[in-house]
Amino acid sequence: MSHLLTLEEYKTFKGKNIANQNEDGRLTINLHAVSDFVRQYLSRNLTENYATDAVEYFAGNTHFVNVREWPIRQVVSVKYKDAEGVYQELGAFYVDEPIGCIESTDGNNFTDSRDSKFLRVTYKGGYAECPNDIKMAIADLVEKQIKQEHSLTKTVGGQDTMTYPAQPIHRLPNHIAVVLDSYRMAL
């Protein structure tokens, strides 16, 4: 899986010297780790299904389903499982592309089936390139990670050394959480 933010973009966003390669290895590892974290946090890939089909399954006992990779670029097919377990084309449905929602046209449930694979949706969605606000959030998270590696050290009584993280661990700074939460897939 590709990085959501390249090393060059990171250096540009953070005003670093692009020609200076002293920390490129460490930065690349951090960019990879933070990209993976963001994908997991969002429950989305963001860019992987822009040109490649995504396939998702849903129960039929609802009148709408939300796909993971939105906005939807193209719905290839929406199929339902018939009584013999064979997928057939679903005739009528409505697609709300920007929010990644596929709805029944009559407002009723697709069926009363609770089978978790009753509907099979094949589509293309997400972004050709990671949105800039997510890139900035990733750059800030990488910067936070680097700062925590160099967090404050205090000596207690001239003997013990204790390291204090710059910020509480396992919490996203508010400005980053606001951006990421606007792209987060509700589960």
Copy the structure tokens of residue 21.
């390669």
Report if residue 120 sits inside a domain. yes
Please name the residue ranges forming H helices in 43-173.
132-149
167 belongs to a structural domain: yes
Asked if 173 contacts 167 with a C-beta cutoff of 8 angstroms, the reply is yes
Examine the domain organization and report whether 59 and 120 are in the same domain: yes
Q: Considering only CA atoms, which of 71, 2, 9, 70 is closest in space to residue 36?
A: 2
Final residue in a domain of this structure, among 125, 147, 166: 125
For 33-76, the three-class secondary structure string (H helix, E strand, C coil) is HHHHHHHHHHCCCCCCCCCCCEEEEECCCCCEEECCCCCEEEEE
- Other Cβ atoms closer than 10 A to 157: 5
| The two structure tokens encoding residue 4 | 């959501």
Q: What is the predicted pLDDT for the residue at 64?
A: 95
Q: How far is CA 16 from the centre of its chain?
A: 26
Q: What is the dihedral of CA 55, 50, 74, 98, to 10 degrees?
A: 100
Indicate whether 168 belongs to any domain. yes
What pLDDT does residue 169 have?
A: 52
The verdict on residue 69 lying in a domain is yes
Q: CB under 8 Å to 138, separation ≥6 — which residues?
A: 4, 5, 10, 31, 34, 35, 38, 130
Kindly state whether residue 115 falls inside one of the protein's structural domains: yes
Domain residues for the domain of 13 are: 7-46+130-181
**Whether 64 and 119 share a structural domain:** yes
Q: Where are the alpha helices (DSSP H) in 86-164?
A: 132-149
In the prediction, which pLDDT does 155 show? 59
pLDDT in tens, the chain (187 residues): 678 999 999 999 999 998 889 889 999 999 999 999 999 999 999 999 999 999 999 999 999 999 999 999 999 999 999 999 999 999 889 999 999 999 999 889 999 888 999 999 999 999 999 999 999 999 999 998 887 765 555 556 665 555 555 445 557 899 999 999 999 976 5
pTM, 2 dp: 0.81
Nearest CA among 131, 127, 176, 138 for reference residue 11: 138
Q: CA–CA separation, 60 vs 89, rounded Å? A: 14
What is residue 158's predicted lDDT score, i.e. its pLDDT?
Answer: 60
For residue 56, what are the contacts with CB-CB under 8 A and spacing of at least 6?
A: 65, 67, 68, 120, 121, 123
Kindly state whether residues 77 and 169 are assigned to the same domain: no
pLDDT, position 164? 52
Looking at residue 154, its pLDDT comes to 58
Residue 95 lies in a domain: yes
Note whether residue 1 is domain-resident: no
Residue 186 lies in a domain: no
Round to whole Å and give the CA distance between 187 and 184. Answer: 9
Q: Are residues 38 and 15 in the same domain?
A: yes
- Are residues 117 and 71 located together in one domain of the fold? yes
